Copies of this chain bind each other. A is one copy, B any other.
């Protein structure tokens, strides 16, 4: 199935999930594609097209069952699949990611935090001790984390990602500026490049005035 779904549909799926979650929380049972489209700022036909990629869950004249569709999209996104993750780099960004994100409701379980800085090692964040980066090998061999969240500078990211791939990590949530994908094409990488986002804002402020 995944082969035929375009990047742009995949990009929108989490937004559908978020909006349907809000509707569910508001006690809304069903919604027409027209109403959903108004709320989301998309066209109704766009929504029907997107959801058709996954078999379509709407019924003519009834609209979408909010709870059902929310559950289906959750399953499509794999949020119900348990995944173990470690986070490397417990500076400001790593700490914020650890404390701020709701990992659980997306199936991610953080099982280890790591840093190379002696002043950070031993600190406890969200009930987990920050471990010494030197213990990464041993920890990974014992606990087999599937995902690594990289909150480290570019300079360290190249080496550590190689190490982690050798240890069996197959997916990265990458906050570093290292382009992991270029040298490692058989792992899954989702990048969060905050600097690039800020530069795009700068560009648009200059050009959209």
Question: A72 an interface residue at 8 Å Cβ cutoff?
Answer: no
Q: Which residues of B contact A188 (CB under 8 A)?
A: 201, 204-205, 208
- Are A181 and B78 touching (Cβ within 8 A)? no
Of B91, B173, B205, the contact of A171 (CB 8 Å cutoff): B205
Question: A177 an interface residue at 8 Å Cβ cutoff?
Answer: yes
Closest approach, in angstroms, between the C-beta of A113 and any C-beta of chain B?
14
Within 8 A of B (CB), among A161-209: 170-171, 173, 177, 179, 181-182, 188, 190, 192-208
Of B41, B196, B197, B201, the contact of A181 (CB 8 Å cutoff): B41
Question: A95 an interface residue at 8 Å Cβ cutoff?
Answer: yes
- The size of the chain A interface, using a CB distance under 8 A, is 60
Question: A96 an interface residue at 8 Å Cβ cutoff?
Answer: yes
Q: Which residues of B contact A208 (CB under 8 A)?
A: 2, 188
Question: A11 an interface residue at 8 Å Cβ cutoff?
Answer: yes
Chain B residue nearest in CB terms to A187: B208
Q: How far is the CA of A91 from the CA of B101 in the complex (A)?
A: 12
Closest 5 CB pairs of A and B: A78-B206, A96-B96, A2-B207, A14-B196, A14-B199
- Given A13-B203, A102-B195, 9 extra CB contacts under 8 A: A10-B200, A92-B95, A92-B99, A106-B195, A106-B199, A171-B201, A171-B205, A173-B197, A173-B198
